[in-house]
Amino acid sequence: MKRYLILIAVAMCLMSSNIAQASETLIASGHPEYAPIMWRENNTIVGAGPELVRLLFKDLKVTVKTPYSGDWNKVQEEAKEGKVDVLVGLYMTEDRKAFFEYSNPYAKDPVTVFVAKGKGFPYSKWDDLIGKTGTTTVGDSFGQAFDRFLSEKLTVTRSATVEESFSKLLKGRADYFIYAMYSGLFEADRLGIANKIELLPREVCVENWYIGISKKSPYAKYLPQINKKLDELINNGTVDRLIEKYGSQYRKSIAKKKGSPAKAKQ
């Protein structure tokens, strides 16, 4: 009888633990200026990445919230500390692997060189950037190989926002701006400067998007289930549809502001 009561007590503890887990809220976040994967809307991070994370954790009965908590650098630091459980979109680097469990890749993202219109220069390899002044945004990484090249060979300043980096181009304070192609084009359109910038024809690199789970998060243990569900959503076209959906949503939000478009400071 005593053994039976012990088993009941253990079962009740396990049930209580599961209920508590189901009622917990996962905190996810991301870059505030990387549409359509993720961007800031008021005090929330929205986009294909946040919705994808919600779908991945839905079967686990976990509620996902995606608050805006600062620039990309700050968000990464909070995730490293476990204050943020999940980053909804992340490139892979060796440094980041020390802090995050990476999902399978879910989309590709070309990184390119933006220049002021009419200020292009011959570019076919990374070495062509040497001797020029570049800019990019705080906390951004572009893959292990190019990050090392940038650090060792290039003169690049970091800006707090995409708008600030584009402003440097238009003021002649930078020769080029390294950023994700799709997100950069979206932001140029939002700022009303799409006709003032252009892309150099060759990509810097093409990176993969991953979901990063903080190694200090209790949700890191669910990575096998997450990857299984993620592969399913990739194969049935859900991920592509999310990216298209949020690309369209972002374009519509820009169109609504065309009457008084934001402009990069000049």
C-beta neighbour count of 68 within 10 angstroms: 17
pLDDT of 225:
98
Which helix (H) or strand (E) element contains residue 206? strand 205-214
Domain assignment present for residue 194? The answer is yes
**One domain for residues 168 and 81:** no
Q: Which residues form the domain of 216? A: 19-107+209-256
**One domain for residues 190 and 59:** no
From 165, 26, 162, 13, select the one nearest 83 (Cα to Cα). 26
Domain stops at, among 190, 206, 222: 206
- Residue 258, judged by CB atoms within 10 A of its CB (0-12, 13-18, 19+), counts as exposed
* Whether pLDDT at 83 is above 60: yes
Domain assignment present for residue 10? The answer is no
The total domain count for the chain is: 2
Q: How far apart are CA 122 and CA 200, in angstroms?
A: 8
From 183, 178, 225, select the one nearest 202 (Cα to Cα). 178
Domain assignment present for residue 13? The answer is no
Placement of tokens 């011959």 in the chain: 122
Secondary-structure breakdown of the chain: helix, strand, coil percentages, each rounded to the nearest 5: 45, 25, 30
SS3 label, residue 96 = helix
* Whether pLDDT at 165 is above 70: yes
**One domain for residues 91 and 44:** yes
Domain assignment present for residue 91? The answer is yes
Measured in degrees and rounded to the nearest 5, phi and psi for residue 52 equal -60, -45
**One domain for residues 88 and 165:** no
pLDDT in tens, 34-68: 999 999 999 999 999 999 999 999 999 999 999 99
Domain assignment present for residue 166? The answer is yes
The span from the first CA to the last CA of the chain, in angstroms, equals 81
175, 135 in Cβ contact below 8 A?
Answer: no
**One domain for residues 199 and 245:** no
According to DSSP, the β-strands at 197-199 and 100-102 are unpaired
pLDDT of 259:
56
C-beta neighbour count of 35 within 10 angstroms: 29
Q: How far apart are CA 164 and CA 137, in angstroms?
A: 9
CATH number of the domain where residue 139 is located: 3.40.190.10
pLDDT of 256:
82
**One domain for residues 194 and 132:** yes
pLDDT in tens, 9-28: 444 444 444 433 445 899 99
What is the mean predicted confidence (pLDDT) over 212-220?
A: 98
